[in-house]
Structure 1
């Protein structure tokens, strides 16, 4: 992608999420551009850091693993406080960005690889954040602005997801807020999103080891007792078959560790009782009834077999940076031509071509979906997060639970009617 734009510890023991020193961190550089409406652009040198969930976790005094594939080592991690004090996150050196994690930068380009056969293990997917310095994420305040990137999804088949999105993380990754966090943004800590993920190995500077359940069938990762919630604005969830952009509002205005009902877990039947709108308000061309807008080949308006420029505009009610968000507008540029977004193509619904509160209400009524978007504050709440500042995330992943059917196939599988077909 080319970018433009605490548990207390006994006695004197130090209870902390340590930053390891076995491997020196070597954050790759990437160049972005900040442009004015008059067309003048200024280059900025930024850096990429790897999410802490992908990093090596080892005993603080040596190189013995605290976490292997999908399980915590009970010797070091019998409980939260012991694990937090005994284990450390470590760096990624220059050679291992590509060799182990399949991540490369060159100038203003970032390349992510799904499967990488590393020297010690097979890596699956990745998630990276944009840094403005060694210790701070770059914060984007996007109200009354547009964000533009070039993307090549031609190698991503169905079931995979190359994503670019924003989440409301702490700028320093929680380093100053949580005394147990000694790693911070430099080591990719503090991730959260509107799904309130339980698979985070570290939340609020503590190991998420309580009630940890390893992933099934030997897959990497697992789920702990706590989740990590925050506002999320998804600009691009896509493969070469289908794409969508989604606004997820939350009732919380900062990264929040959740448990129980607040996490909104499907397993407990609390999806719409949590603090975040997990469904979001999504504009997916295929799902909106235009099956010829995005796909492989020249017969589609946007040809996913070739690179495309994706433009997202955040429109306020008064045209100022301090206004309320009322519209999220999408445009594409390919082969030198500006391509306006597709339109909703269902009888009885206006031919919306952007995300607005009216669009969300009408389309959810048509699809028979719960309007959790409105319940959680709608675009106004989303706009407040965009005003406060959000962190840029870029990732590559698959989906062991729903197999990405929500992106490029029929979902739910046994469903029928408008909105079920989301891709070919």
Structure 2
């Protein structure tokens, strides 16, 4: 329960969490030690100094009371006061007494000294406190003995200076520790940045550096990235090679069937050959999504408008709502165009018409494609974005068959852009089928 309450308050970054782990215990120890030192050491010194002064005051008061008259008492007090370095006199009355609370809030030892004086001198009737000095009045036989002296005589002065010194030293050492901690965190942050970029389809240069554990993690990441790249390359070559090799026998089959146009089975076989060639094209397109394309600044609105116009050129009902200009994002144009074409083809395959528009937010830009088909049930939307998953039975088998790669190609293209593909239900008038959203981040990844 306590962890859940404190979680929103604590920083989420590794750098500041490490800083808290380092500095919170150190700061707590410094404060506790400083306060304990002031309480034990300064209090003990103040009590000892106050006790010594109480003996002097008692001696002065005893000598004054032993004098036969006031004049003799005055002479005795002056003589002893010079010997002890005090200002002393016999006065008839004592002014109102001050309180220890009248001292500044940071003068902890001064307050303790005044309380110790009151405890050790029952004869004290009044005390006055001023800047760095104390005057007290003791009731005696010939009047009131007035003693004036510096507060430093009975109190260990400026105990707050240790707190100030501790704070200054803590700040200086904290700055040095922050610099050292930042240097130690930099390789980890660089590794996180490179790993995130690789997840978005970018291969950034990375040099192993930092502590032993960070170096081990960096080497493991480089080895993992190399294995993944080899695996992707082998898969791409396999798909490309198999698809290319299949074209030769399919071409021979098409040529042979074209010579048998009069046969009743020829037309059906030609349709099967055309379907196989379409499947091969989809395999090749899926393999091309792994190819690295240079990112350039691209007008997303113009790109979507061109793809919609190209799709509508064959007489298909494809509409684009927008001005056809902006926003400008850093994209892979060919990959983005293939993703939009796949969504348009998917919409026309399972519906009669398609509608495209762009939604702009403060942090994201979304390309929306809606159709008037049956849509996809919520429980089938996540599997529909996986490779080789077909939902023809759910969306109408009369529309033909496919390889189940259309939405997978779009999802891979969006991941390479640092975005995502979202599937939902369209609420646009006349387009109540599937709503596909290509969500892109502004300002790169």
- Relative to the length of structure 2, the TM-score reads 0.18
Bigger radius of gyration among the two: 2
Task: Select the structure with the greater relative contact order (CA < 8 A; seq sep ≥ 6).
Answer: 1
- Relative to the length of structure 1, the TM-score reads 0.19
- Greater helix share, structure number: 2
